[in-house]
Amino acid sequence: MPKNLIEAELFGYQKGAFTDAKIDKKGLFELAEGETLFLDEVGLLPLELQAKFLTVLENRVIYRLGGVEEIPTNARIIAATNESLEGWIA
């Protein structure tokens, strides 16, 4: 799945963020407000998205694609991977 599509699905997007963004769309983090969101194979996410994901975990806020507004989230996150992540830690 292309990085931009993954990012749009997880974080949502603002109207006008890209050509087909005709309306604001909530991402999975917003839709899971107060609920549990299971993300499988997070080790396969592009590094840029892993960094954004870490920001969500640390700060409990998201930014939609094309957005500048902080959107708080209180979704419980369960993340899994089959990758051995120890080798990736610097």
Question: What region does 41 belong to: left with phi over 0, alpha with psi -120 to 50, or beta?
Answer: left
Residue 72 in any domain: the answer is yes
Residue 80 in any domain: the answer is yes
SS3 content of the chain, % helix, strand, coil (to 5): 35, 20, 40
Taking the model in full, what pTM does it have? Answer: 0.86
Whole-number Cα distances in Å, 20 to 9, 70, 78: 14, 23, 31
Mean pLDDT of the chain: 90
Range of the domain at 74: 3-14+34-84
Residue 88 is predicted with a pLDDT of 67
Q: What domain count does the chain have? A: 1
Residue 7 in contact with residue 53, Cβ under 8 Å? no
Give the type of residue at 17. A
Q: What is the C-alpha end-to-end distance of the chain, expressed in Å?
A: 26
Tell whether the model's pLDDT for residue 24 goes beyond 90. Answer: yes
